[in-house]
Amino acid sequence: MLAQRVVTALVLLPLLLALVWYAPTPVLYGVLALVGLLMAWEWTGLMGWAAKGRRWAYTAACGLLLALAWLAPGRDILLPVLLGAAVLWWIFAVSLFPGFPDNLSRRQTSGLPMALLGLLLTVSTLLSLAALHATGPLKLLFFLFIVFAADTGAYFAGRRFGKRKLAPNISPGKTVEGAIGGLLLAGVWALLAGIPIFAPAGAVQAALLLLLTMIVAAVSIVGDLTESMFKRVAGIKDSGNILPGHGGILDRVDSILAAAPVMVLGLLATGL
């Protein structure tokens, strides 16, 4: 399993870096939209939709929305509205953690609200990534590595220091100490890379960049826990099997789903 994970990462990471660095933003969005179709298909699995017709229809609807969102004349006006709605969901998602699993049932994750949520999160996330890329590939890479840093820091800190469970009913392996380690590593990343990339004007903006980075890292953990929660309700281990050793697309991007809208809204709010 570990060997599969490493091989998959070694194949995908250079492709991702090349896409971000060399592709123009419309091409990047087009590739991301294709990934979004896979995400939509896997989301129907979280909803427990077994009928292939329903799954194909939902995936097609997601593709149509992704195209319309990109081609919409008022995309710059639409984006903050979509991001705001997504961020409100992630704030609400945190409130579900303490009472899980008694407060969430299969019926609640198989209906229209869950279907609409999947469309909102997919479209808002992919538009966020494209918006970041349009301001410069380095800014998008900086964001992606916030998520990687939070995940890596949480893994190693959790293995070394982890004692207190963060959300035992959702993800028993995650610890409070691991989460703190992830936040700290993300903070170090902000200081080492964020300052040169964003060139904040003065100490206040530098502090805002550090704060935003830590918030984005924290929200990435919320995204991970939320997908784990939905998978437990659905009774599945992975959202899919397209990535050997990693599971499905959603298993790899759950943190990004939560973090990307927060990152873009934060940048808009702080003027960074």
pLDDT in tens, 84-114: 999 999 999 999 999 888 888 887 888 899 9
Q: Are 20 and 28 in contact (CB under 8 A)?
A: yes
Q: Of the segments 23-27, 70-74, 250-254, which one has the largest average pLDDT value?
A: 23-27
> C-alpha dihedral over 166, 38, 247, 259, to 10 degrees?
-30
Q: Are 163 and 177 in contact (CB under 8 A)?
A: yes
75/26 Cα distance (integer angstroms):
13
CA angle 130, 125, 166 (to 5 degrees): 135
- What are the structural domain ranges in the chain? 2-270
> C-alpha dihedral over 252, 257, 262, 264, to 10 degrees?
90
Q: Write out the two tokens for 180.
A: 């703190």
CA distances in angstroms from 140 to 13, 143, 198, 208, 250, listed in the order given: 14, 5, 11, 18, 19
Give the pLDDT mean for 146-163.
Answer: 90
Higher-confidence residue of 10 and 206: namely 206
pLDDT in tens, 114-150: 999 999 999 999 999 999 999 999 999 999 999 999 9
Q: Which of 14-18, 128-132, 137-141, 183-187 has the lowest mean pLDDT?
A: 14-18
pLDDT at 182 over 90: yes
Give the pLDDT mean for 188-208.
Answer: 92
Please give the pLDDT value at position 242: 65
The one-letter amino acid code at 209 reads: L
**106: Cβ contacts below 8 Å, ≥ 6 apart:** 48, 233, 234
Please give the pLDDT value at position 2: 44
pLDDT in tens, 48-98: 888 888 999 999 999 999 999 999 888 888 889 999 999 999 999 999 999
Average pLDDT of every residue of the chain: 89
Please give the pLDDT value at position 51: 85
pTM: 0.92
pLDDT in tens, 210-245: 999 999 999 999 999 999 999 999 888 877 666 655
